[in-house]
Amino acid sequence: MVISINSRTNAATATAQPVPSGGSSFRAFVSGTVGNLVEWYDWYAYSAFAVYFAPVFFPESSSTAQLLKTAGIFAAGFLMRPIGGWLFGSLADKMGRKFSMTLSVLLMSLGSLLIALTPTYEAVGVLAPVLLLTARLLQGLSVGGEYGTSATYLSEIATPNRRGFYSSFQYVTTIGGQMLALGIQLLMQRLFLTDAQIEAWGWRIPFVIGAALSVIALYLRNNMHETLAYRLVRDQPTEIARKYGSVRELLRYPKALLTVVGLTMGGTLTFYTYTIYMQKFLVNTVHLPKAEVTIITFVVLLTLAFMQPFFGLLSDKIGRKPLTLTFGILGTLSTYPLLSTLATTHNVWLAVALILLALVQVSLYSSISAVVKAELFPTEIRALGVGLPFSITVAIFGGTAEYIALYFKEIGHEEYFFWYLTACIFISFLINLFTKETKTGSLFTDKPLSHQKI
């Protein structure tokens, strides 16, 4: 499939182009969200099936040691995310949101296909985990660029009074990607394969599906239109255009960068704890059956997905800051008691209730995460401004969440992780306490960089 890139028009032509019609806007929305769903499905399939393929690549006697090694590779994928955030964010600001988003989903499909085809440790020895690591690094590069560009795209196609609502669908599809991975896992467990068959070869199926779905996402993104905000500013004199997607230009917004880091720090760690790590926590600590844990995870994630538009709409009415501050207060006060209670319960319904309570807190962050960051930067560096600091912070805190949690469990002090999560949320709260309300102080504008006062 050939990736087409629309030729540039002059600034006057771009400015004269009308706002896309309702149907065109809807197609843009679908292209952006479906592509995001597929990217995150590919990313989360690794985590969902790690409990099955860990022995295939790391034949250890301890199940915790196996999970620790697969979590290490999961974390290694996050090391590529800052590079992806810089590369694809810069491409999005220089060459367009469409170009960057199309390229990122293509790279993700290659990573999924490589995982599906990687031989076992028994067949090729140490080469097996090396290939697994390579695939995750490719996926990390892709997903590192996906967040900033898709957050920018959804924010720019929205009307000013619905940016919170539109951009909340980024996490709807992010969660939807994980649910799709879990749904496939559930079907395999309940209808088609035994645990032994999944562990032997069935774990490859979701990665084959991911590679196939990426072709659909690639088609959609290759045919979506560029945002009006980008078209208005894309053609400027060379000395101005050189600043587009520039890290040097980005550094002129230190407060915005600190806000992105601060909001992301506690938010991403909380999100990965209650969505990604929770599946392993319920199996490895609470000792619930794998199939039962899959059902629980699917149900709570479905609920989380439905929460996103509600809180996104709420932020359009009352602002973004009340939600971020509430997240910080609730997370600081409830994280330790919630996780320590969950670790000792054997009641499935109590476990579900506790997780749902935690996910309400998560939604206060996730529903507005994209729009808050997008509103902090002007069009010319928006994708880079959202993607780069976010990816760095996620690599440090989100990508290591599983590894740190499993390490503390391995040394017999699992509760240390509960305090670590609490401390990160509290630091995020302090940073957000002194930041401005982005809904009323947004840098969304139709003026090019040469007309902005910085």
Model pLDDT for residues 182-200, shown as the tens digit of each residue = 788 888 887 788 877 887 7
Range of the domain at 315: 23-231+251-442
Q: Which residue has the higher pLDDT, 25 or 92?
A: 92
Whether pTM exceeds 0.85? no
Highest mean pLDDT among 32-36, 247-251, 259-263, 442-446: 259-263
Look at 32-46, 312-326, 329-343 and tell me which has the smallest mean pLDDT: 32-46
Question: What mean pLDDT comes out for the span 341-364?
Answer: 87
Distance CA(87)–CA(325), nearest Å, equals 32
At 429 the pLDDT is: 93
454 belongs to a structural domain? no
- Among candidate residues 74, 38, 43, 44, the one with its CA nearest the CA of residue 57: 74
Distance CA(404)–CA(217), nearest Å, equals 34
Mean pLDDT for the chain overall: 79
Q: Which residue has the higher pLDDT, 119 or 227?
A: 119
Question: What mean pLDDT comes out for the span 78-105?
Answer: 83
**Structural domain count, the chain:** 1
303 belongs to a structural domain? yes
At 24 the pLDDT is: 55
Distance CA(249)–CA(251), nearest Å, equals 5
Look at 96-105, 219-228, 431-440 and tell me which has the smallest mean pLDDT: 219-228
- Among candidate residues 288, 403, 420, 406, the one with its CA nearest the CA of residue 355: 288
Model confidence at 444, pLDDT cuts 50, 70, 90, reads: low
Q: Which residue has the higher pLDDT, 281 or 68?
A: 281
Distance CA(392)–CA(43), nearest Å, equals 17
At 451 the pLDDT is: 36
Distance CA(260)–CA(250), nearest Å, equals 12
At 329 the pLDDT is: 93
Model confidence at 240, pLDDT cuts 50, 70, 90, reads: low
204 belongs to a structural domain? yes
Q: Which residue has the higher pLDDT, 299 or 332?
A: 332
298 belongs to a structural domain? yes
140 belongs to a structural domain? yes
Q: State pLDDT tens for residues 126-172.
A: 787 788 888 888 888 888 888 788 888 888 887 778 888 888 888 88
% the chain with pLDDT above 70: 83
Q: Which residue has the higher pLDDT, 193 or 332?
A: 332
16 belongs to a structural domain? no
287: exposed, middle or buried (C-beta count within 10 Å: 0-12, 13-18, 19+)?
exposed
For residue 10, the one-letter residue type is N
Residue 423 has pLDDT above 90, yes or no: yes
217: exposed, middle or buried (C-beta count within 10 Å: 0-12, 13-18, 19+)?
buried
Distance CA(438)–CA(374), nearest Å, equals 9
Model confidence at 425, pLDDT cuts 50, 70, 90, reads: very high
What single string gives the DSSP state of each residue in 286-313? S---HHHHHHHHHHHHHHHHHHHHHHHH
Question: What mean pLDDT comes out for the span 50-79?
Answer: 68
282 belongs to a structural domain? yes
Question: What mean pLDDT comes out for the span 69-75?
Answer: 66
Residue 173 has pLDDT above 90, yes or no: no
Distance CA(100)–CA(412), nearest Å, equals 44
At 234 the pLDDT is: 66
At 63 the pLDDT is: 61
397 belongs to a structural domain? yes
Report yes or no: 325 and 433 within 8 Å, Cβ to Cβ.
yes
Q: Which residue has the higher pLDDT, 372 or 420?
A: 420
Model confidence at 37, pLDDT cuts 50, 70, 90, reads: confident
Q: Which residue has the higher pLDDT, 244 or 359?
A: 359
At 106 the pLDDT is: 81
User: If residue 362 lies in a helix (H) or strand (E), which one and from where to where?
Assistant: helix 348-374
Residue 21 has pLDDT above 60, yes or no: no
At 75 the pLDDT is: 65
Distance CA(266)–CA(147), nearest Å, equals 17
Q: State pLDDT tens for residues 357-385.
A: 999 999 999 898 888 888 888 878 888 88
Question: What mean pLDDT comes out for the span 48-75?
Answer: 68
Q: What is the CATH number of the domain that holds 372?
A: 1.20.1250.20
Model confidence at 450, pLDDT cuts 50, 70, 90, reads: very low
| Helices (H), ranges, 394-450 | 401-410, 415-433
Look at 206-215, 275-284, 369-378, 404-413 and tell me which has the smallest mean pLDDT: 275-284
Q: Which residue has the higher pLDDT, 348 or 333?
A: 333
